[in-house]
Amino acid sequence: MELKTHISVNNLSVFYGNEPALKNVTVDIPDKKITVIIGPSGCGKTTLLKSFNRMLEAVEGIKISGAVLVDGENIFDPGIEITGVRKKMGLLSQRPYPLPMSIYDNVAYGPRIHGLKKKKELDRIVEHYLKESSLWEEVKDRLYTPASKLSIGQQQRLCLARGLAVEPEIILGDEPTSALDPKSSQRIEARFLELKKDYTIVVVTHILRQARRLADYVIFLYLGELIEHGPANQIFDNPKQEMTREYIQGVIS
């Protein structure tokens, strides 16, 4: 399998105060594939994911070294505009957090921030991305009602639509289905498999079965260290490291 790189992580280390959360991680994340980050709780999965859209910097006392190249540019370069980096990526968090406004305004929030004002164009975008995240049919008659009234599963799909509406290249998901019921989780997974045609997707999960269903590429972290990474079939069927094998077999968790 020939893989084009989209995000390239070079010697990334992250410290919270003096506690290391990531130690010298180097890995390439392939373009237009689903990369799944697995590993036990507290091993640094969220930290790795959040380093991609520079969401870590708001934490007091954090130290970051190394580089993350997106499309060949180091996002930590002083000259790089942080909003530009974030615009390239849609983020789905563990629990959906709709913005305190209507369904329509949630999806239109990003495009408006980036300067789009025309009502017609916004209407088109809202409809398009609500369809893209398979929420349109359920909400098309109540676009102007509060987003907080939706069910959790619908809210997560709304967050997906909201993220897609800024036309990112990358979708980041931090255990995006962990608050959802099985049916809603399935819909999100199905969306991901569909969306990878056009987007590079990076998902954190600690559900191994979900990892198997989604992954083209797998990154296994343990206590802040990158233990192994590679194409999904290799990691799941024939891991090189003993630790990876044990984790996949459920010996360590």
- Cβ atoms 177, 159 nearer than 8 A: no
The dihedral region occupied by 97, where left means phi > 0, alpha psi between -120 and 50, and beta the remainder, is beta
Nearest CA to 203 among 227, 178, 183, 224?
178
Q: Which of residues 41-100 bind ligand ATP (CB under 6 A)?
A: 41-47, 59
Q: Which stretch binds Mg ion (CB under 5 A): 14-22, 43-51, 124-132, 176-184?
A: 43-51
Tell me: does residue 16 bind ligand ATP (CB under 6 A): yes
Residue whose CB is less far from Mg ion, 46 or 185: 46
Q: How far apart are CA 250 and CA 253, in angstroms?
A: 6
Tell me: does residue 18 bind another protein (CB under 8 A): no
Contact pattern from residue 101 through residue 120 relative to another protein, giving x for each residue in contact according to CB under 8 A and a dash for the rest: xx------xx--xx------
Helix ranges (H only) for 134-200 are 136-139, 152-164, 182-195
Q: Which of residues 117-176 bind ligand ATP (CB under 6 A)?
A: none
Query: What is the number of other CB atoms lying within 10 angstroms of the CB of residue 207?
Result: 15
- Cβ atoms 188, 132 nearer than 8 A: no
**Closest distance between ligand ATP and the C-beta of residue 113, in Å?**
26
Q: Identity (one letter) of the amino acid at 170?
A: I
Tell me: does residue 21 bind ligand ATP (CB under 6 A): yes
Tell me: does residue 206 bind ligand ATP (CB under 6 A): yes
Helix, strand, coil: what percent of the chain each, to 5? 40, 25, 35
3-class DSSP state for residue 73?
strand
Q: How far apart are CA 50 and CA 14, in angstroms?
A: 11
Residue whose CB is less far from Mg ion, 46 or 51: 46
98 binds, among ligand ATP, another protein, Mg ion, none (CB under 5 to 8 A by kind): another protein
**Closest distance between Mg ion and the C-beta of residue 240, in Å?**
25
Residues that bind another protein (CB under 8 A): 53, 55, 58-60, 83-84, 86-87, 89-91, 93, 95, 97-102, 109-110, 113-114, 146-148, 159, 162-163, 166
Residues that bind ligand ATP (CB under 6 A): 16, 21, 39, 41-47, 59, 206
